[in-house]
Amino acid sequence: RIPGDLAGVPGVLDGTGDGWQFVPDDAARSLTAGPFRSALAQVAEGARQVLWMGKNNILDVAGVLEDTQRMWDAAPDPAQDTLVLGQWPTPDDPVGSATAEAVTAVNEEQQRRYGDHFLDLAGLLTSEDGLRCPPLAPLRLLEQGATQEALAQRIVPAGLRAPDDIHLNGWGNLAGSGAMVGRMGEGGG
């Protein structure tokens, strides 16, 4: 759902059904053909942004860095309102693979560029300290042999991955969300 106007008529462009439909704020207003103009910039004014992008094209390290930088630069005051999330390694990104090297290169450069406005999800989800964080402590992941095998490959343990192995499950997202909230509470991003 995207707020905006269609040929000057305010409303919402709704794509939650089978297609897109413009729903005017005032149902009595008649619509005419014309351009749709998004109001998201006004709606988001003063809001913070979280940038988490580039995993689908991670082998294009320069492109991922450029895309993220463009989004960073688009914010009115990125040093005050932007947090960049790092990539995390999946089973497709084991130690020594081209994708593991690309994930590392992207994360290292983003850490360098964004400093306190970079959140290292790989470090959180593939380290013993990270796996002991409060949201994950009850899982006792470090006591599981599969976790130790994953850490040896420097990939996120299965207990934090969705069945497709390329997304985080609820626990992985809980750990990431907790880290984001903590970082934002510290004044970064």
Residue-wise pLDDT tens digits, 107-121? 999 999 999 999 999
The length of the chain, given as a count of residues? 189
- pLDDT at residue 108 in the model: 98
Is there a contact between 87 and 55 (Cβ–Cβ < 8 Å)?
yes
- pLDDT at residue 1 in the model: 86
- pLDDT at residue 126 in the model: 96
- pLDDT at residue 186 in the model: 65
Q: Does the model's pTM come out above 0.85?
A: no
Residues 6+ apart with CB under 8 A from 150: 126, 156, 157, 158
Nearest-angstrom CA–CA distance, 160 and 77? 33
Average pLDDT per run of 10 along the chain, which is 189 residues long?
A: 91 90 90 88 79 95 97 89 95 96 98 97 96 94 95 96 96 95 70
- pLDDT at residue 74 in the model: 85
